[in-house]
Amino acid sequence: MSKDLVIDAADPVLKSDFVTEMTRQIRAIDSYGVYDTATDIDVLDPLVLTKDRKRAIPIVGDPDEETLARVKAFYNAIAVMTEKECGKMAVPLMHISHEGFGRVLITVGKLVVMDKTLRDVHRFGFESLSKMKDEADKLLSVALNIVGKYPEVAGL
Amino acid sequence: MSKDLVIDAADPVLKSDFVTEMTRQIRAIDSYGVYDTATDIDVLDPLVLTKDRKRAIPIVGDPDEETLARVKAFYNAIAVMTEKECGKMAVPLMHISHEGFGRVLITVGKLVVMDKTLRDVHRFGFESLSKMKDEADKLLSVALNIVGKYPEVAGL
């Protein structure tokens, strides 16, 4: 929280459902209370990787705990949004190796509604908050589409 | 491998497809070559938890690397058997905490064919090799049943 913040406090995307849920998720898994006194912008800011910030991160590296927590928060938030929209329980399952490679699934009933391979997790982030929301909206719409197509399997 | 072995070398279950696959899996993920000079019985023996062996393990404990490898081998082997039987790729995904709690999924296409909560992983084992095979056969038959019921989702 010592570095310069890049998020504009007036950005309307801050009030969107997804970004609100994302903030909630990061605070929820913040077991050491790092963000107890932080504003929402402080919490979200490390998710924005501007070109300069990205350049400062080595190409190869192991993800640290905070980065892993943000990845977890992102997919948890997508699961929560999926659940809200379709009314059925959506469960994320993530496996990431120490080297930052892995896979994340979201299931609804017996249906896999999202399945993503993760790479270079130590560089997890988005060009802007809007890009993060766009990515989440895309994954969410695919997930809801699958649930709509196979409601019986999603209900198992 | 210093302890007394409990598996009978004449046990016909040793020749079953599942137990053969299980041995192959354990050897495959044995990156340090611990089992290089071991017989199949040496490899499989720690999976059998007789009453005496079980009593010797504390109720609460963290799973060690070898135990985790055996859990992984078990579900990998089920995925391989599922794949062989249904002819579609079956992928396992496992998440186990340091305390030995977790969840393991096997997916075929967009279909979750197995979904199990894991507890007390440090005590992972079976009363006998036959019991291990029975458990695997049960999980396999449920998995194949689901694939048969929703072939379209399994083909996605």
Considering only the beta carbons, identify the residue of B93, B95, B112 that sits closest to A110. Answer: B112
pLDDT at A30: 84
Confidence of residue B1 (pLDDT cuts 50, 70, 90): very low
The ranges assigned to domains in chain B are 12-154
Considering only the beta carbons, identify the residue of A94, A103, A111 that sits closest to B110. Answer: A111
What is the per-residue pLDDT across A38-71, written as a single tens digit (0 to 9) for each?
999 999 999 999 999 999 998 888 898 889 999 9
The rounded distance, in Å, linking the Cα atoms of A28 and A16 is 18
What is the per-residue pLDDT across B103-133, written as a single tens digit (0 to 9) for each?
999 999 999 999 999 999 999 999 999 999 9
What is the per-residue pLDDT across B15-44, written as a single tens digit (0 to 9) for each?
999 999 999 999 998 878 888 899 999 999
pLDDT at A131: 96
Q: Where are the alpha helices (DSSP H) in B29-102?
A: 40-44, 51-55, 65-86
Q: How close is the nearest chain A Cα to the Cα of B120, in Å?
A: 19
What is the per-residue pLDDT across A98-118, written as a single tens digit (0 to 9) for each?
888 999 999 999 999 999 999
- A27-41, A110-124, B44-58, B86-100: lowest mean pLDDT where? A27-41
pLDDT at B4: 81
Instruction: Give B114's strand partners.
Output: B106
Q: Does B115 touch chain A (CB under 8 A)?
A: yes
- Residues whose CB is less than 8 angstroms from the CB of residue B131 and which lie 6 or more positions away in sequence, other chains included: none
- Report whether pLDDT(A12) > 60: yes
Q: What is the DSSP string of A34-65?
A: TTTT--HHHHHGGGB--HHHHHTS-SS-PPPH
CB of B90 closer than 8 Å to CB of B82: yes
- Report whether pLDDT(B97) > 90: no
User: B146 to chain A: which residues are within 8 Å by CB?
Assistant: 110
Does the A12-154 domain belong in CATH 1.20.58.110? no
Considering only the beta carbons, identify the residue of B93, B113, B146 that sits closest to A93. Answer: B93
H helices, E strands: number in chain B: 6, 3
Q: Which residue has the higher pLDDT, A156 or A77?
A: A77
Q: Looking at A2-151, which runs of residues are DSSP E strands?
A: 90-96, 102-108, 111-118
Q: Does A105 touch chain B (CB under 8 A)?
A: yes
Contact check, Cβ <8 Å, B146/A103? no
- Report whether pLDDT(B5) > 50: yes
CB of A147 closer than 8 Å to CB of A25: no
- Report whether pLDDT(B88) > 80: yes
ipTM above 0.95, yes or no: no
